[in-house]
Amino acid sequence: MFIPLTSLDLSLAAVLVIMLALLSWRMQLNVTQQLIIAAIRTTVQLLLIGLVLKTIFTHVDILWVALICLVMLSVAGWEILSRQHRKLKGWWGFGVSTASLFVSSFFISILALITIIQADPWYHPQYAIPLLGMLLGNTMTGIALGMDRLVQTAWQQGSIIEQRLMLGQTSVQAINDIRKESMRAGMIPIINSMAAAGIVSLPGMMTGQILAGAPPVEAVKYQILIMFLITAGTGFGVISVLWFISRRLFDDRHRLRFDQLLKTVKNK
């Protein structure tokens, strides 16, 4: 049985966030403003996308679906770049993060829609947009973590990398250990999520379907599908973005070029 939520119900949940913001302000955690802004963004963005999806669901058009997917992909790529401690210069950082999302989440979503879910038509927004949204939301976390770890560690161990290069190693060999650790860092969150699913936690999609009245077994099947797709997307995304960045960190003569790629970080 589906139980609709009222504005009062949502307001009661918002009170908890306000209480957390007040507590963080009292403890001087310096996250109060970020917490409030994030809560406001969540509310506004979800309400707007709800209105947009309501319209698109009634008028199925591949062009509108493609436009929304493009916006989602671009915003996710920008969010990955904005979470980096040491940001890449120019549009290249945005391009590499967005390209890795396209290789992973976007491609896997299309593959799942055509071969597994087999919606009619395959681009039906009821399936395409939520599926891509779940993959992007989880994949960009792994990509951001792996990307940040690689660039930050390479910066800190720049002298070690240069020593390896002087000893005759290629750029691939010199940064191989750092890249492996960065891949591991990007994969840990989704591996933990899979390991704990069903015992420690009930994933969001499964919980939402059950609350909406779907049979638990069917909700579980869809959740397993989503977890596998997210894992594959995260893995392929992390591997591709780290491969792109590892290649760009060196020039044709196997020399590090941080000055040409990274923005200057000001000490706070």
User: pLDDT digits over 24-37, tens only?
Assistant: 999 888 889 989 99
Residue 146, pLDDT score:
92
The pLDDT tens digits for 118-141 are 888 889 888 898 899 889 988 998
Structural domain count, the chain: 2
Does residue 203 belong to any structural domain of this protein? yes
- By percentage, how much of the chain surpasses pLDDT 90? 27
Q: Are residues 43 and 114 in the same domain?
A: no
Q: To 10 degrees, what angle do helices 62-82 and 92-101 make?
A: 130
Mean pLDDT to the nearest integer, 136-156: 89
Of 35, 59, 83, the residue that ends a domain is 59
Q: How confident is the model at residue 266 (pLDDT cuts 50, 70, 90)?
A: very low
Report the pLDDT averaged over residues 2-30: 89
Do 122 and 232 fall into the same domain? yes
pTM as predicted: 0.79
Q: Is the pLDDT of residue 57 over 50?
A: yes
Residue type, 102: F
87 shares its domain with 174: yes
Q: What is the mean pLDDT of the chain?
A: 85
**Residue 200 Cα distances to 138, 221, 228, 230, 234, angstroms:** 18, 18, 18, 19, 21
Q: What is the pLDDT of residue 36?
A: 93
Q: Domain span at residue 223?
A: 61-261
Residue 16 has pLDDT above 70, yes or no: yes
Q: Maximum Cα–Cα distance for the chain, whole Å?
A: 68
119 and 39 in one domain? Answer: no
DSSP, res 202: -
Is the pLDDT reported for residue 204 higher than 80? no
